[in-house]
Chain A
């Protein structure tokens, strides 16, 4: 129930008078305000700055520090005020949360200081309203990344007890971890450069043979080049084998791009070794030598920028595809037009449409080699249109690719957005859980037997104990919902149980099967077996007092087993993971106390504290006399 409408609860209760003439059952007694003090001002002294507010304002959120009795620890007797030794600037937004129901994140605040204050005052950050939530999440993510970077820097210091293999792998991946790794890094880089230069120089013509023919250096100094090549390939092979040995997952390493480049770079040499002096395949062998140029890609291990470029091209695949597609369209159109325009002219170079492709490409990219030139007037007109449109078509997607590159270079936004969406889902579900706390809180309080004011049995201290556990607001709200139940003569149940009940009413037509049915249900089966048994009894139209007790007790029992997420309104369990709180075993837990009190102990403790609670799978009918006490017993701590 939102804070602001707490003030309208008197109105809602008054409007309930509209149900009274329609109801056929007597209404439950309203909870009385025992300590009916007038609404008073409360002074909060935060590091010298005094804030004043009504006491009721703070009571709106009973599961925070200020709304619960925890603030009594900070009460200063002499000055009759509550003193908190915290930041008064952040406290402003926290107090505004109580007043308006919305938590805002001030932009000038440091994110970790703000988080600390929220944790101190017991407010979960997911409540931050939508206007400030994105900013908060962004700052939090930046902070987390900074922490991660710091952690990684620290992690690079030598961890103890790393195997030789792990050390080697880390040396390969982060060359600056040790001197050996650095040396290795530079040596391989040097040899890659040597290898590439060798490949290039091999083809340079140097020197003349006596038969007046330029031969490339490679054929002149064959042995020297062969030795160089061998040395480089040996180094690369050793490096590849070492990486393969050190890789944590060899299969994955062999599939990675870099290792494929390595293999492609050294393979031609070995193939060349194997098939020398074979005239037929020497042509193919020459082609294989081309692949030696792939050694230059090995530099990408050494250069961050190259890797980012590759990644950009990969991620801009759609834009590149669009560029290619639009260019292809334009080329085909203009080539066709030029072909038919130049068909008439004699000695035209535009012999076919594919032949015109070359002209179109050269013109559109504004290269203009001039080897193919239109001669007719129509050809010239269309040629000029072609060159003008070429500029446009190419100029459009290129800035997109450029901006992509700069974007990826600074921050990978797409992955972050995906992560933020996941967090958004988690946040929404947590907010939903805390918001649905009101409906489950009512069912929860029913289980606790707080609405047992229908019968005035129960000793005084039990009354007091139970009264202490809920705030007045909550008990009044529950009384209102209880009146509605009485008016319509139906009860609120948990959704899960509703679905089970739905299944069981369908099976209700076979009365002989009830005990065996329940055993198939699993954890809640034993509880619900009582329900099937009870529903066998004919529901009299008069709804006797005792029968309502059965129903009520039944509802208390089966809600007890089914109600797992009732803990969510307590502060401690809000910070728990939802699956932790869901791990309660129906059989073992007696009863968990109301979620309103902030219980720092985990819920499993309470199961120990209910030794005298009758175990839920009690096949006997519950004793009817003094059913109020029975309910109390089950709900006692």
Chain B
């Protein structure tokens, strides 16, 4: 009589064991599945390398040659030469600020050109999207090389006016002039002293600020420059650059 009891007991144990075993297996599988789902669902864990690859895959194609020809004062051939040089250094089609600083620093090996390059970048980046595309580049160059004196002076004023509020204050001018002196570097003759940029700013404001209100407006600036022979002559200096 005991044998069937034992058997059922054993069967019960067996099924119980199987249940336990399968339960644990199920739990394990669930855990793995859950983990996989979580990792698939959360996209933030992507590799930073892949992120960088994605960024560099951003490409910008400029407008057609004819359009650029119409918008700027460069001839077709000149635009071709400019674009080839631009694309050689920036294959993705846009320059970001770091590349811009690097390129500009190569021309001034003795000093630190990064601050002035920063101001230049802001002056070229007219749509303020933190990148200079070929159109921005060529528009800026068109003003600088082929524009009228008025346009050039406008551009220069825009460069000096760091916060673009229409007034050049002494602090802004000091920043600009300091960055220009930074490009000279340390080894200069005569030696650069601390107060040289300040003095330079004073001279500038004495010349430009007619009504002595501490800021230079665009009209004061243009007026004064047009009356200064040196500045007028030097504006014509780079006509034949391209």
Contact = CB atoms under 8 A, between A and B. Distances in A.
Interface of A: 1-2, 4-27, 29-30, 32-33, 38-39, 435-436, 438-439, 477, 480-481, 483-485, 487-488, 490-495, 497-498, 501-502, 505, 535, 539, 551, 555
17 contacts: A5-B89, A7-B84, A13-B238, A18-B120, A18-B160, A20-B156, A22-B176, A24-B230, A25-B230, A26-B234, A27-B234, A477-B107, A480-B107, A488-B196, A490-B188, A495-B187, A551-B189
Contacts of A7: 81, 84-86, 88-89
B191 A502 contact: yes
A1 B107 contact: yes
A493 B180 contact: no
B106 A33 contact: no
Interface stretch (B25-33, B41-49, B62-70, B137-145): B137-145
A4 B203 CA distance: 38
Given A20-B231, A492-B110, A33 B180 contact: no
Interface of B: 77, 81-82, 84-86, 88-89, 103-104, 106-110, 119-120, 123, 137, 140-141, 144-145, 152-153, 155-156, 159-160, 176-177, 180-181, 183-192, 196, 200, 203-204, 221, 225, 230-231, 233-235, 237-238, 240-242
A38 B190 CA distance: 42
A463 B185 CA distance: 31
B221 A487 contact: no
Given A14-B141, A14-B144, A15-B144, A491 B189 contact: yes
Nearest to B147: A17
Contact of A30 (B88, B180, B240): B240
A502 B183 CA distance: 20
A487 B237 CA distance: 14
B235 A20 contact: yes
A631 to B, nearest CB: 17
A7 B242 CA distance: 10
B233 A487 contact: no
Contacts of B225: 21
Given A15-B144, A26-B233, A27-B234, A5 B180 contact: no
A26 B233 CA distance: 8
Contact of B238 (A30, A436, A502): A30
A32 B191 contact: no
Contacts of B188: 488, 490-493, 498
A491 B189 CA distance: 5
Contacts of A490: 181, 184, 188-190, 192, 196
Contacts of B190: 490, 501, 535, 539
Contact of A14 (B77, B180, B241): B241
A19 to B, nearest CB: 6
Contacts of B144: 14-15, 17
Contacts of B82: 10
Contacts of B153: 21
Contacts of B186: 498
A12 B104 CA distance: 7
Contacts of B240: 30, 32-33
B88 A39 contact: no
Closest 10 CB pairs of A and B: A7-B85, A498-B187, A14-B144, A490-B188, A27-B234, A439-B109, A20-B234, A493-B189, A10-B241, A491-B189
Nearest to B159: A18
Given A39-B81, A484-B180, A487-B180, A14 B189 contact: no
A426 B242 CA distance: 40
A22 B104 contact: no
Given A22-B177, A481-B107, 6 more contacts: A7-B84, A10-B85, A13-B238, A21-B204, A22-B204, A23-B230
Contacts of A8: 85-86, 89, 103, 107
B191 A492 contact: no
Contact of B189 (A18, A22, A501): A501
Contacts of A494: 187
Given A17-B156, A498-B188, A26 B120 contact: no
A9 B156 contact: no
B108 A24 contact: no
Nearest to A25: B230
Contacts of A22: 176-177, 180, 200, 204
A21 B184 CA distance: 18
Contacts of A4: 88-89
B98 to A, nearest CB: 14
B106 A5 contact: yes
Nearest to A7: B85
A17 B235 contact: yes
A611 B123 CA distance: 53
A445 to B, nearest CB: 14
B108 A481 contact: yes
Contacts of A497: 187, 189
A15 B120 contact: yes
B33 to A, nearest CB: 39
Contact of A488 (B160, B184, B234): B184
Contact of B187 (A438, A493, A551): A493
Contact of B237 (A5, A10, A30): A30
A16 B86 CA distance: 18
A489 to B, nearest CB: 8
Nearest to A101: B88
Contacts of B204: 21-22
Contacts of A14: 140-141, 144-145, 238, 241
A27 B233 contact: yes
Nearest to A505: B191
Contact of B181 (A15, A488, A491): A488
A485 to B, nearest CB: 8
A12 B108 CA distance: 10
Contacts of A535: 190
Contact of B230 (A26, A484, A555): A26
A32 B237 CA distance: 11
Nearest to A32: B240
A487 B181 CA distance: 9
Contacts of A26: 230, 233-234
